Amino acid sequence: MKFLLSLLLLGLVASVNAQILNAESLRKVADTSGWSGAASIDFALKRNVNDFISIGSDIHVEHETPKHLILLKNDFRFQKVENDKFTNAGILHLRYNYKTHRKMSWEVFGQAQYNKVSLVDFRGLFGSGPRLKLSNSEKYRFYLGILIMFEHEELADGITPIQRDFRGSTYFSFSLYPTEHITVVSTTYYQPLISSFSDYRISSQSSAIVGLYKNFALKMTYTFTYDEFPAVGIANSQYSFTSGITYIFD
């Protein structure tokens, strides 16, 4: 059972291309203390303006105590758009949680990323807010997060100026454990611009994780995102199908 619970911290959290990081699948469900982490490699078929494939690596490290949680994720990806050459994308995410109540914690996070396919030269985020636990069951867990974040974004479309804005980041997440070796995680984010709610992003991701042998697991993920105002020439909606092998160290 410990192996299954540890699987949640793998997360291929939304693909880097999706631009909205699903930090939920980074979390370890068991309320244990100490260091843990995971390393994975994956392959994906995605759609942006064109269909393309990607190969990615993902490293995640986490430290947890009864009151505190710190997690760090580094994701690097090579992407090939149809017959063009490979380009790359990367993301670095750091998050801290302080448990203020049995069912509530306060989150603070920072994130930096870039993505050549989506014409994002740089996007930096810093945010904070409460995270609520909505259930008591160990096999079926539901969460709600309500955060505010500052965003600095530089696009490579040659038209859009540098953006410095505040956005909301509300998410609903659930984790299901139907059997000892299967985990299902799903999270949906809604991120509107505070000054104009007509400028928003939506991201929804669902993952199935199946234990294979000892510390190895198979993970399959579907991600859908919508950005009302992406870089010029980039589609509003994007999706990705990702599968890969993950090794968990604890």
Phi, psi torsion values for 8, nearest 5 degrees? -60, -25
pLDDT at 4 > cutoff 50: no
CATH 2.40.160.40 fits 2-249, yes or no: yes
pLDDT at 55 > cutoff 60: yes
Cα(226)–Cα(237) distance, integer angstroms: 4
pTM for the whole thing? 0.78
Structure tokens at 159: 């038209």
pLDDT for 83 equals: 63
Q: What is the pLDDT of residues 69-104, one digit of tens each?
A: 999 988 887 776 666 666 688 889 999 999 999 899
* Tally of CB atoms within 10 A around 223: 25
Q: What is the pLDDT of residues 150-172, one digit of tens each?
A: 999 999 988 999 999 999 999 99
Helix (H, G, I), strand (E, B) or coil at 229: coil
Domains of the chain: which residue ranges? Answer: 2-249
Q: What is the mean pLDDT of residues 172-198?
A: 91
The answer to whether 201 and 216 are in contact (CB under 8 A) is: no
Question: Which residues on neighbouring strands pair with residue 208, listed in sequence order?
Answer: 184, 220
Structure tokens at 201: 């992003």
Which segments within 102-215 are labelled E, that is strand?
104-115, 120-133, 140-155, 163-179, 182-193, 196-213
pLDDT at 3 > cutoff 90: no
Cα(247)–Cα(229) distance, integer angstroms: 37
Cα(39)–Cα(202) distance, integer angstroms: 27
Q: Which residues of 14-29 are buried (b: 16+ CB within 10 A; e: fewer)?
A: bbbbbbbbbbbbbbbb
Contacts of 56 (CB under 8 A, 6+ apart): 12, 15, 16, 41, 42, 44, 75, 76, 77, 78, 244
